[in-house]
Structure formats: structure tokens, C-alpha cells
């Protein structure tokens, strides 16, 4: 089990990105959260099996016809106690 702090930049606000991320995370059984930042980027924490997190990030980076991920950073952090993946406001 791993947990990562991730920051994503690109066209990721005003395009349903947080809901997109939440849906993918739920599909993989991952926990954590996602939120918009004031600088136009999005940050998140995601927790689960490492292989599933990497599949999750592949899907997130791919985006859709509204979302365009230009760059991201990812660092391991201490495990959390989330019961599901949620959107923070």
C-alpha cells in the first residue's frame, strides 16, 4: 500500500477534471482526495496498491477531449485513513 501527493497542471480546471479523477480512482478502488488550487493547478492525494496507482495516473495523464494534462509531479507520503476518494472544495 502506498500514498502519493500529486500536483497536476494543464487544462485541469473548469473541465470536470476533479470528477474525472474521482471516477477513475473509484474504478480502481483507490482512496484519497482531489481539489483545485488558486494557481490553476490541481492537487490530490491517492492511496492504494502501487500498480493500481500507476494505472490510475496513466488514465489521468491521458485525460479526455476536455482535459489536457501538461505536467505533473508525484511524491510518496505517509499513509492516510480515507475510506473513499473524495472531492475537496
61 part of the active site: no
Flag whether the pTM goes above 0.85: yes
Asked whether the beta carbons of 76 and 6 are under 8 A apart, the reply is no
Rounded-to-integer distance, Cα 66 and Cα 13, Å: 10
Asked whether the beta carbons of 7 and 71 are under 8 A apart, the reply is no
Rounded-to-integer distance, Cα 10 and Cα 8, Å: 7
pLDDT in tens, 57-67: 999 999 999 99
pLDDT in tens, 12-50: 999 999 999 999 999 999 999 999 999 999 999 999 999
DSSP letter at 38 equals: T
11 part of the active site: no
Rounded-to-integer distance, Cα 6 and Cα 59, Å: 14
- Pairing between strand 85-87 and 31-36? parallel
Catalytic residue among 36, 39, 61, 68: 36
Catalytic residue among 3, 11, 18, 39: 18
**Domains, the chain, ordered by start:** 2-80 (3.30.70.100)
Amino acid at each position: 500500500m502506498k500514498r502519493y501527493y500529486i500536483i497536476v497542471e494543464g487544462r485541469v480546471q473548469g473541465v470536470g477534471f476533479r470528477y474525472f479523477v474521482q471516477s477513475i480512482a473509484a474504478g480502481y478502488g483507490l482512496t484519497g482526495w482531489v481539489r483545485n488550487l488558486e494557481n490553476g493547478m490541481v492537487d490530490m492525494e491517492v492511496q492504494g496498491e502501487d500498480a493500481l496507482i500507476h494505472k490510475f495516473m496513466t488514465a489521468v495523464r491521458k485525460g479526455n477531449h476536455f482535459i489536457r494534462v501538461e505536467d505533473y509531479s508525484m511524491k510518496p507520503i505517509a499513509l492516510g485513513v480515507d475510506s473513499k476518494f473524495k472531492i475537496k472544495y
